[in-house]
Structure 1
């Protein structure tokens, strides 16, 4: 797949994720921000499967993917990219992480959807979308696009699914909240990456044009 086609695919995926997010947001708003039928079904299933051991397991991604955890992980990832002399990729990852947090936190505060009453984690009315899921998805998708390794995609997908399960198992979010976080993360990561690649391609094209220009003749300072 060429760079141009990768960029086009990323834009299509990002736009599709954005549209899906808007539709889900409208459905939730139409229902008065109350849990959807599928939310209630999934919530009851998680309650039925609750055990002390799995609660401890669920807290691992919740803590690692929390504010402090993601700041540490973000700094490490950005530092490694800079060390590998991939400063442009480091900047792209940083922009995506900042953007997804800013967008998600603002929307969650404005929407003000109430979390499940029996939440074992946060209880403030900032349930939609799930910030943990959005940030995890953004980092995974961005690393997948930058590193282009199948192992990154596979391990990343497992991490995102674990995060989505964790947030609903701890009753911190409804199922639609974590799906919204997933869509937000995909949209932000793909669109930020596509913009960064577009800027990089234009700079490379200008550099090639400048290199291909013939050298201007040097005027002689000696009079004929």
Structure 2
């Protein structure tokens, strides 16, 4: 499938960038040549300045604001802008000042340092916030409900084996101490009652004849049985 040929239209921004870049390149070349850098060295200076400017701007665009990138961007911009102003007649390029010669001579080392730091230094990243806790929070009411559920009789029956019920022994009847003399007297009363009536004396009659409380009468009757 062939695509229709679209007419090529010049981009005004691109044309403007090419013109500005060419003029800046020429000004840097002229300044380097006036400072004593002749031949290919004068052509290398504008390339070095523009590459450092582009590298710093790319670092700012790709990794966000950085003091290092801003520092080298301003240094390269100052070198480019200074060359444009210096070649506008403010300096005598036939006899440049010693400070200009010093700056042009030291630029290669400065540009090499800036390019190395921009290429190999770690980007300044903001601290990463801690991840939110995705574990559901349990309210006190829900915890109480879970506790009641775990302690329910059904859960206890399923988790805990049934134990045989313990058989408690029957409580022993309390023993009441009875004096021997009272037991002998009770035997005589019982024998006399049986002789007169022909039947054994019961507990109520024995209690009435002896004048003792019911529990003591029961204890005496147990001795007579």
TM-score computed with the length of structure 1 as normaliser: 0.27
Q: Highest Rg: 1 or 2?
A: 2
TM-score computed with the length of structure 2 as normaliser: 0.27
**Structure of greater relative contact order (alpha carbons < 8 Å, 6+ residues apart):** 1
Q: Please identify which structure carries the higher helix content.
A: 1
